[in-house]
Chains A and B, each alone.
Chain A
Amino acid sequence: MTSSSATSRKALSKIASNRLQKELVEWQVNPPVGFKHKVTDNLQRWVIEVNGAPGTLYANETYQLQVDFPEHYPMEAPQVIFLPPAPLHPHIYSNGHICLDILYDSWSPAMTVSSVCISILSMLSSSTVKQRPEDNDRYVKNCRNGRSPKETRWWFHDDKV
Chain B
Amino acid sequence: MSSSRNTHWCYRCRRPIRLQGRDAVCPNCNGGFIQELDDMVHINPLDFFGLDNDEGRDPRYRMMEAFSALMGQRLADRSHSHDIRGRSDLFSEHNSGVGPLLIFGGQIPVRLSRNNGFEALFNGVPGIGLTRGNGGDYFIGPGLEELFEQLSANERRGPPPAARSSIDSMPTVKISQRHLRSDSHCPVCKEQFELGSEARQMPCNHIYHSDCIVPWLVQHNSCPVCRQELPPQGSSNSRPTAANRGSSSNGNTSGRESQGRRNPLSYLWPFRSSNSSSRNSGNSPSNSPTVRENNHHQMGYSGWPFD
A residues at B contact (CB < 8 Å)? 6-7, 15, 18-19, 22-23, 26, 74-75, 90-91, 99-102, 104-112, 115-116, 118-120, 122-123, 126, 133-135, 138-139, 142, 144-145, 147, 150-159, 161
A115 vs B31: C-alpha distance in the bound complex, in angstroms? Answer: 59
A135: which B residues are within 8 A, CB to CB?
A: 291, 297-298
Which residues on A sit within 8 Å (CB–CB) of B212?
A: 109
Given contacts A105-B158, A158-B301, 20 further A-B contacts (CB under 8 A): A7-B79, A15-B189, A75-B219, A91-B301, A100-B302, A101-B302, A104-B158, A108-B227, A109-B212, A111-B224, A119-B305, A139-B294, A151-B80, A153-B149, A153-B297, A156-B259, A156-B301, A157-B299, A157-B300, A158-B298
**What does DSSP make chain B's interface, helix, strand, loop or mixed?**
loop
Docked Cα-Cα span, A139 to B301, in Å, equals 17
Indicate if B54 sits at the interface (CB-CB under 8 A).
no
Chain A: minimal CB distance from B276 (Å) = 14
B223 CB to nearest chain A CB (Å): 8
Task: Report how far A150 CA is from B81 CA in the complex, Å.
Answer: 14
Would A155 and B224 be within 8 Å (CB), given that A15-B189, A107-B158 are in contact? no
One of A91, A109, A155 near B216 (C-beta < 8 A)? A109
Q: Is the CB of B302 within 8 A of A156?
A: yes
A19-B189, A110-B225, A110-B306 as given contacts; A159 in contact with B292, CB under 8 Å? no
- The interface of chain B, by Cβ under 8 A from chain A, is 78-81, 149, 153-154, 157-158, 187-191, 212, 215-216, 219, 222, 224-225, 227, 255-256, 259, 261, 289, 291-306
* Choice from A74, A102, A110, A139 contacting B303 with Cβ under 8 Å: A102
Looking at the assembled complex, report how far the CB atom of A53 sits from the nearest CB atom of chain B, in whole angstroms: 15
A123 to B300, CA, bound (A): 9
**Given A74-B188, A142-B294, A147 and B81 contact (CB-CB distance below 8 Å):** yes
**Contact partner of B299 among A99, A102, A142, CB < 8 A?**
A99
Q: Please report the C-alpha to C-alpha distance between residue A26 and residue B295 in the assembled complex, in whole angstroms.
A: 36
CB distance from A34 to the nearest CB of B (A): 15
B57 to chain A, nearest CB (A): 39
Q: What CA separation (Å) do A145 and B277 show in the bound complex?
A: 30
Known: A74-B188, A109-B216, A151-B153. A157 touches B79 (CB 8 A): no
Contacting A110 at CB < 8 Å: which of B158, B224, B255, B298?
B224
Query: Chain B residues with Cβ under 8 A from A119's Cβ?
Result: 301, 303-305
Chain A: CB-nearest residue to B222: A108
Complex Cα–Cα for A157 and B78 (A): 26
Q: Which residues from A are CB-within-8-Å of B215?
A: 75
